[in-house]
Amino acid sequence: MAVKPPTGSVTIEDVAREAGVSRAAVSKVIRNAYGVSPAMKARVSEAIEKLGYRPSVSARGMRGATFTVGFEIPELSNPFFPKLLAGATAAMSGSPYQLIIAPADPAHAEGYRAIQALVDRQVDGVIAVSPLVDPEWLEALAATVPVVMIGRHDRSVAYDTVVGDDEAGAGQVMRHLLDLGHKDIVHLTPAAGMIGVDSGVPQAIRLDVYRRAMQDADLGDRIRVVRTGNGESESRRAALQLLAEPDRPTAVFAAHDEPALGVLHAVADAGLTPAEVSVAGYDDIEIAAHPGISLTTVNQDGERMGRLAAELLLERIAGRSAPRHEVVRPELVVRTSTRPPRPRGGAARLRALGRT
């Protein structure tokens, strides 16, 4: 067996008695602090081993560090988030720090509660993915404990950030669609309530880029934004309605891969294929590469983002106070869900003629 079985509650006191030394001595050994003779270290280590002693993190937390970092995350269902976690876990793997994850219960005040729960547990640092929490609140938080935020475009001096270049990523998607010849491009994005007013959440930026790209291509009058929840099923429903309209769009740019999957689903449900309606997403979740899906999307390298966040946090914990803001360059991945638009007959063509 790799590990000793957990033994009821052996305290530092027990170890001290067993080794015939003081509590302080044992404490020194386990922290390998200065002032320990090899002989004593050996005796104490032996006692620890024999009794299966494990220091209580709670007791430790009362004075010093807990060697725990907290990762707050909204919904695990979107496969992009586990990528962040995987990256962070890997980066943390060598360090003495343990990662614990607090899921933000969507039923409760989005993020706040989960982050609070971590802080209450005396974590030595926090990584969070809550784009909606108030900047001032975060500043106050960051004054208490090192904080790294993922996916925020604001630049506080109090906390670090890791974020993808959504401007560039969304720009690439729009250029791609426009280059293919699409003009009726709909943007699918989370409901307004889910995007803070100019909070700089990624979705808000993607939306903005969409609008500007359409304007710049002289398609300002064809701008159309559909709001829907995250998750496949909601977006599928929304897309079904959209596709049933007489002059349906020729392309849909979804703010994330999950809703994009919903749109693809709807396209299939409506008896259509990407040849009729192109679909693009954002994140490049693993399944997007599957031949049955083959979704054009933007790769953000979530693992790298998670790794970066963990590294920044460890630096902060180690003492750095100057803020750092890392931007990860995204990359368009073209697959078969986006194709040139097919010329259509009837109403759409007439409308197009009437306009030009």
Partner DNA sequence: CACACGTCGTAGACCGATCTACAAGAGGTG
Partner DNA sequence: CACCTCTTGTAGATCGGTCTACGACGTGTG
Q: Give the C-alpha distances (Å, rounded to integers) separating 185 from 161, 221, 224, 295.
A: 32, 11, 7, 16
79 binds a copy of itself (CB under 8 A): yes
122 φψ region: left (φ > 0), alpha (ψ -120 to 50), beta (else):
left
CB of 7 to DNA, least distance (A): 11
265 binds a copy of itself (CB under 8 A): yes
Q: Which is nearer to a copy of itself, 290 or 351 (CB)?
A: 290
What is the C-alpha to C-alpha distance for residues 226 and 239, in angstroms, rounded to an integer? Answer: 9
Q: At what angle do helices 23-30 and 38-51 cross, to 10 degrees?
A: 90
Nearest one of 120, 105, 80 to 305, comparing CA atoms: 80
Half-sphere exposure of 111 (CA within 13 A, CB side): 17
Q: Report the partner that residue 103 touches, choosing among a copy of itself, DNA, none (CB closer than 5 to 8 A by kind).
A: a copy of itself
Listed ranges 19-27, 72-80, 211-219, 287-295: which one lies at the site for DNA (CB under 7 A): 19-27
261 binds a copy of itself (CB under 8 A): yes
Q: Report the partner that residue 24 touches, choosing among a copy of itself, DNA, none (CB closer than 5 to 8 A by kind).
A: DNA
What is the C-alpha to C-alpha distance for residues 343 and 139, in angstroms, rounded to an integer? Answer: 53
285 touches 301 (CB < 8 A): no
What is the C-alpha to C-alpha distance for residues 83 and 107, in angstroms, rounded to an integer? Answer: 24
Per rule CB under 8 A, count of chain residues that contact a copy of itself? 67
Q: Which is nearer to a copy of itself, 52 or 220 (CB)?
A: 52
109 binds a copy of itself (CB under 8 A): yes
Chain residues that interact with a copy of itself, rule: CB under 8 A = 1-3, 5-9, 54-62, 66, 68, 76-77, 79, 82-83, 85-86, 89-90, 93, 98-103, 105, 107-109, 112-113, 116-117, 119-122, 134, 136-137, 140-141, 143-144, 232, 261, 264-265, 268-269, 286-287, 290-294
